[in-house]
Amino acid sequence: MQSPHRVVLEVAPDFHKNPQDLNQLFVQSSGGGSVPLGAFTRLESINAPLTINHQGQFPVVNVSFNLAPGAALGEAVQAVEQTKQDLAMPASIQAGFQGTAQAFRVSLANEPFLILAALITVYIVLGVLYESYIHPVTILSTLPSAGVGALLALIFCGTEFSVIALIGIILLIGIVKKNAIMMIDFALDAERSSGKAPLEAIYQACLLRFRPIMMTTMAALLGAVPLAVSHGTGAELRRPLGISIIGGLLLSQLLTLYTTPVIYLAFDRVAARLVRRRARHASSPTVADAGS
Domains and CATH numbers, the chain: 104-283 (1.20.1640.10)
Burial label for 217, CB within 10 Å (0-12, 13-18, 19+), is: buried
pLDDT at 291 (0 to 100): 46
The β-bridge partners of 36 are 26
pTM beyond cutoff 0.75:
no
> Strand, helix or coil at 198?
helix
Q: Does 213 score more than 80 pLDDT?
A: yes
Confidence of residue 288 (pLDDT cuts 50, 70, 90): very low
Looking at every residue in the chain, the average pLDDT score rounds to 80
Q: Does 292 score more than 70 pLDDT?
A: no
pLDDT at 286 (0 to 100): 52
Task: Count Cβ neighbours within 10 Å for each residue of 265-283 and write b for 16 or more, e otherwise.
Answer: bebbeeeeeeeeeeeeeee
> Strand, helix or coil at 55?
strand
Burial label for 160, CB within 10 Å (0-12, 13-18, 19+), is: middle
Q: Which helix (H) or strand (E) holds 148?
A: helix 143-156
**What is the Cα–Cα distance from 26 to 7, expressed in whole angstroms?**
20
What integer is the mean pLDDT of 250-273?
A: 84
What integer is the mean pLDDT of 112-141?
A: 81
